[in-house]
Amino acid sequence: MQNASPKNIRHLTLEEIGAYFKELGEPTFRAKQVYEWLWQKKAQSFADMTNLSKALRQKMGEQFTLQALSIDATQYAADGTVKSRFKTFDGHLIEGVLIPTEDRKTACVSSQIGCSLTCKFCATGYMQRKRNLLFDEIYDQVVMINDQSERIYEKKLSNIVFMGMGEPLLNYRNVLKAIERITSPDGMGMSPRRITVSTAGVAKQIRQLGDDEVKFKLALSLHAANDEKRHKIMPINETNDIKSLIEALNYFHQKTKNEITFEYILFHQFNDSLQDADELIKIYRQVPADLVNIIEYNPIAQGGFQKPDEKTTQKFMNYLEKNRVNVRLRKSRGKDIDAACGQLANKEAIH
């Protein structure tokens, strides 16, 4: 049973692993033991699987690969945020962040190596997209950030947000498969209601989420409430305009009844006027959205944007509230280590 190139063992089902052991003449419970090592006991290599004989581990090592992520570097922010730079089996670097608050411990994870969307305000958008992350690589990020949370804060992760590097809906299958493993009882057993997938707006894939009747929450990175402005900062808007996104979000909600959030970064004298607020209110009223998250902008060297002063931000939010919009200010975390929203770009980190 010699393969030309060894297969990633985590891409096999429990049944397929069982069939492999049956062919070797091994008892069937071996498959369950291995599956536990892969998805619950955090094995980084076959050598870690200590309840299997050395000969069997060696045989598996010849037959399969186990392409675990490793932590390349870690940075700790003054506010308790932890940014990790992970290394993939083929030498690429990605970043994930642990964001602690009093009542939540959130993992912000990446879905691609780089990004192809070139949003003007986001550091990741200035990187090339190298490839999609595999579902087991996404899973590893969550496991490792959960380990950090338990070690530093003595608490498991309470939430996961797909708001790191990359556009999750352009890596659709791997993101859904990763979430299936994260929420599965033989994975991390986490509730899908505690997971939010954030998209820059891929209307076709938002509809697909509805058809697949996913259980997790959805966030749309809106950031401008008319097409002209959104075109300028998010080129994806040229093929996924606001009207098509509103229709897709309504379809998603009709199929799933899941929570929808709008994300809106305020940029100084670009989208922070009361006229902009009026346009945002119009969109909010056309979608069964639960919340508008106003996000503090974290300037990046290439962006050319600034954040508005607190008075302007407050005025914008007060106006939304007065018009019965459920709005919240999302304070930036981890700015001092470039771990805040829109800053992930694999800069040199320190151990």
Question: Do residue 46 and residue 187 come from a single domain?
Answer: no
More confident site: 69 or 4:
69
**Stretch 12-38: mean pLDDT:** 95
CA dist., res. 208 & res. 203, Å (int): 9
Question: What CATH number did the domain enclosing 211 receive?
Answer: 3.20.20.70
Tell me if 323 is assigned to some domain: yes
Looking at 16, 43, 65, which one is the last position of a domain? 65
In percent, the amount of the chain with pLDDT more than 90 equals 83
Residue 324: phi, psi to the nearest 5?
60, 40
Looking at residue 148, what is its pLDDT?
Answer: 97
Question: Do residue 315 and residue 186 come from a single domain?
Answer: yes
Tell me if 143 is assigned to some domain: yes
Looking at 40, 65, 90, which one is the last position of a domain? 65
Looking at 65, 90, 112, which one is the last position of a domain? 65
Tell me if 345 is assigned to some domain: no
> Residues 49-100: pLDDT tens digits?
999 999 999 999 999 999 999 999 999 999 899 999 999 999 999 999 999 9
Identify the band that residue 350 occupies on the pLDDT scale cut at 50, 70 and 90.
Answer: very low
Identify the band that residue 301 occupies on the pLDDT scale cut at 50, 70 and 90.
Answer: confident
**Stretch 338-345: mean pLDDT:** 55
Question: Do residue 295 and residue 251 come from a single domain?
Answer: yes
**Stretch 21-25: mean pLDDT:** 94
Question: Do residue 232 and residue 117 come from a single domain?
Answer: yes
Residues marked active site are found at 95, 341
> Residues 311-325: pLDDT tens digits?
999 999 999 999 999
Identify the band that residue 343 occupies on the pLDDT scale cut at 50, 70 and 90.
Answer: low
Looking at residue 346, what is its pLDDT?
Answer: 53
Looking at residue 351, what is its pLDDT?
Answer: 31
Tell me if 280 is assigned to some domain: yes
Looking at residue 49, what is its pLDDT?
Answer: 97
The per-residue pLDDT of the chain, averaged, comes to 92
Tell me if 342 is assigned to some domain: no
**Stretch 36-44: mean pLDDT:** 95
Question: Do residue 104 and residue 253 come from a single domain?
Answer: yes
Identify the band that residue 296 occupies on the pLDDT scale cut at 50, 70 and 90.
Answer: confident
In this model, does residue 294 exceed pLDDT 80?
yes
> Residues 103-146: pLDDT tens digits?
999 999 999 998 888 888 887 777 888 999 999 999 999 999 99
Looking at residue 298, what is its pLDDT?
Answer: 81
Question: Do residue 248 and residue 300 come from a single domain?
Answer: yes
The tally of domains found in the chain comes to: 2
In this model, does residue 330 exceed pLDDT 90?
no
Nearest one of 232, 234, 193 to 214, comparing CA atoms? 193
Query: Letter for the amino acid at 115?
Result: C
Looking at residue 175, what is its pLDDT?
Answer: 98
List the strands of the sheet with 70-76, edge to edge: 70-76, 82-87, 93-100, 105-108, 159-162, 195-199, 217-221, 260-265, 291-295, 327-330
Question: What CATH number did the domain enclosing 15 receive?
Answer: 1.10.150.530
Q: Which region among 291-295, 325-329, 346-350 has the lowest average model confidence (pLDDT)?
A: 346-350
Looking at residue 340, what is its pLDDT?
Answer: 54
Tell me if 320 is assigned to some domain: yes
Question: Do residue 151 and residue 58 come from a single domain?
Answer: no
Question: Do residue 24 and residue 140 come from a single domain?
Answer: no
Tell me if 293 is assigned to some domain: yes
**Stretch 307-313: mean pLDDT:** 94
Question: Do residue 29 and residue 118 come from a single domain?
Answer: no
Question: Do residue 249 and residue 295 come from a single domain?
Answer: yes
Tell me if 347 is assigned to some domain: no
Identify the band that residue 335 occupies on the pLDDT scale cut at 50, 70 and 90.
Answer: low
Question: Do residue 141 and residue 57 come from a single domain?
Answer: no
The domain of 175 spans 70-337
**Stretch 250-278: mean pLDDT:** 97
Question: Do residue 170 and residue 283 come from a single domain?
Answer: yes
In percent, the amount of the chain with pLDDT more than 70 equals 93
pTM, two decimals, is 0.92
